[in-house]
A and B are shown apart, each in its own frame.
Chain A
């Protein structure tokens, strides 16, 4: 029997698995004061996993395994790169946070790396089973990690809510997938694309597709499936919140992109209107709810719901007959890449700021810039970038999104673009309010001013990396357009 495994193509995943085992072993042999080696190993392993990615990228050939169910092409490589960079930043943010609060460290990194592994698997998956297992591997560790602050009732609540709704959404997703399989007898995306084409008028097919969308809707926290997000984001340890809002959300979007554009392009008349509604609702409800938030993490939670809405906008463009699906696909991927960088930056600032204010309430942040102007500048950079103000990276994400919609044309999509534009203005209000609180308002309380409150080296590194990327992408959007171009290749033309 000839059966070979392309080990180079699997190398990034294998490196992460190796790191995972090292972390687990180190946790057993090291005593408490030496536990920092675990974090070091995790960070080093994640950085190491990028090397095979670069090698594969330079070679530039598409590698396909397991009868085409696992493919390493440019799209997969770009997204794996994004997942690894984001995971790297989250690990840097975690290091001091986890150590200073005396949480379990070995298990924390073990679970976090397992989740990263799941997202890497997902980027390459080209069939329902591997996609599903990858998605589960990404989210299952997060159910546990959101509850890591065990003494805090809010963290318990966060974990439980996320778990119950996550499991429910998984069940719905799996039900939809089993219907797809039952109707077509196909598991691979290429097989599904052929078998489903033109069958959008069958009730069972419509139901299967809607179930799949609902399942993913929970994962990306799109309205009306977002109810878990604010409570979970608030209760979870802040680095995990950052991970949830970036890696986990991107993973959900990758699944959605693969399923809809690769497996189900032939029935876009079914899913595009559904995503139109999701996009419009997510933007509007997310932004309007964010206006009223007084807690900075909850504000970011609603902001990430709204951002998910912006990312869904290009999907709706697929409804237009003869629309350029590649353009829509690339716009979402570019938005994901930029969103990852700036949102991680925003969370890193929140972690750094919370050490000084000892509070997540926005009122406690008043006048922070007066005692620490550098932190103030960072707050301004990341929040204005999220709002989409040039020359920071966020403007290009929104530009790519609007461009894809305008190219597609069509009345309904233009209406959606108008809704998106109105929402962009609403979003500016609350992002600017945070910056105003930090810079203009007078301090309401005392700030902690000691060595403990200064950001740790690893956190500073995370801040610098995300700052550099946010500013650089804003001035040279060409840095991310290749991300979109690479992914264009695999999008099936409508």
Chain B
């Protein structure tokens, strides 16, 4: 019951944040909306007993990534308004209708109630390991060492490539 209420609360805030990201005219408000979404999702993780993921979500996304976003927004300047011309006629109208149809469909399916979304749910839920550094590090550096190292390389690539692409000085066009 508590989990149900928590879910509804957090789902609503997450959606509200997501809508704000798209709708807000000021990019700082968009960033704040995103922050709200990220926090709500973090709470949902806690409800699922995934404490470590929740902590990472808050530290990495809400902390580091958001700071970076805000930094970039401030750096470029908040008052630079986007070109909001819409090329397609009646764009919003048709998207509204489409979204409405999807919502109605989803509501209909849910309300009709005879929809077996997952007939055979997984019985065995993996046991939550306690979140010590050792418990996390051991699988990371044994069973998942390959994926872990490959991910590290992926980050190096992004950094090296982004610098190479952004650095324009002294290059012939």
Could you list which residues of chain A lie within 8 angstroms of chain B, going by C-beta atoms?
1, 3, 5, 17, 24, 65-67, 69-70, 101-104, 107, 110-111, 114, 117-118, 121, 129-130, 133-134, 136-137, 140-141, 143-145, 147-148, 150-152, 159, 182-185, 199, 202-204
Size of B's binding interface in residues, CB under 8 A: 30
How far apart are B72's CB and chain A's nearest CB, in angstroms? 17
Give the residue name and chain of the B residue nearest to A118 (CB).
Answer: B150
Of all A-B residue pairs in the complex, the 9 with the closest CB atoms, nearest first, are A151-B173, A144-B161, A107-B164, A185-B122, A133-B150, A3-B142, A114-B157, A133-B147, A102-B172
Report the stretch among B62-70, B92-100, B113-121 that lies at the interface.
B113-121
CA distance A143 to B143 in the complex (A): 30
Give 17 pairs: A residue, B residue, CB < 8 Å, sorted on A.
A1-B142, A3-B142, A5-B145, A66-B143, A104-B164, A107-B164, A111-B157, A130-B150, A133-B147, A140-B154, A143-B161, A144-B161, A148-B165, A150-B171, A151-B171, A185-B126, A204-B117
Most buried by A among B116, B117, B164: B164
Give the residue name and chain of the B residue nearest to A131 (CB).
Answer: B147
Q: Are B157 and A147 in contact (CB under 8 A)?
A: no
Give the residue name and chain of the A residue nearest to B143 (CB).
Answer: A66
Among A67, A110, A150, A183, the residue within 8 A (CB) of B143 is A67
Among A67, A133, A204, the residue within 8 A (CB) of B151 is A133
Known A121-B146, A150-B168, A203-B116; contact A133-B154, beta-carbon cutoff 8 A: yes
Known A3-B142, A133-B151; contact A107-B161, beta-carbon cutoff 8 A: yes
Among B124, B126, B160, the residue within 8 A (CB) of A107 is B160
Give the residue name and chain of the B residue nearest to A145 (CB).
Answer: B161
> What B residues does A147 contact at CB under 8 A?
165
CA distance A141 to B154 in the complex (A): 8
> What B residues does A114 contact at CB under 8 A?
153, 157
Given A101-B172, A111-B157, list of 4 further CB < 8 A pairs? A133-B150, A151-B171, A159-B165, A202-B119
Q: Are A66 and B117 in contact (CB under 8 A)?
A: no
Give the residue name and chain of the B residue nearest to A107 (CB).
Answer: B164
CA distance A203 to B118 in the complex (A): 7
Known A129-B144, A150-B173, A203-B116; contact A111-B161, beta-carbon cutoff 8 A: yes
Q: Are A140 and B158 in contact (CB under 8 A)?
A: yes
Residue-wise interface mask of B (130-168) relative to A, using a CB-CB cutoff of 8 A (1 in contact, 0 not): 000000000000111111001101100110111011001
How far apart are B39's CB and chain A's nearest CB, in angstroms? 21
Known A133-B151, A140-B154, A150-B173; contact A66-B161, beta-carbon cutoff 8 A: no
Residue-wise interface mask of B (101-124) relative to A, using a CB-CB cutoff of 8 A (1 in contact, 0 not): 000000000000001111110101
Q: Are A110 and B160 in contact (CB under 8 A)?
A: yes
CA distance A489 to B122 in the complex (A): 31
> What A residues does B161 contact at CB under 8 A?
107, 111, 141, 143-145
Known A144-B161, A151-B171, A203-B117; contact A183-B150, beta-carbon cutoff 8 A: no
How far apart are B117's CB and chain A's nearest CB, in angstroms? 6
> What A residues does B164 contact at CB under 8 A?
104, 107, 144
Known A66-B146, A130-B147, A151-B171; contact A204-B118, beta-carbon cutoff 8 A: yes
Among A3, A117, A203, the residue within 8 A (CB) of B153 is A117
> What A residues does B119 contact at CB under 8 A?
202
Give the residue name and chain of the B residue nearest to A141 (CB).
Answer: B157
How far apart are B61's CB and chain A's nearest CB, in angstroms? 15
How far apart are A105's CB and chain B's nearest CB, in angstroms? 10
CA distance A211 to B116 in the complex (A): 19
Among B120, B165, B173, the residue within 8 A (CB) of A152 is B173
How far apart are A236's CB and chain B's nearest CB, in angstroms? 13
Q: Are B154 and A183 in contact (CB under 8 A)?
A: no
CA distance A148 to B167 in the complex (A): 11
Known A150-B168, A150-B171; contact A140-B150, beta-carbon cutoff 8 A: no
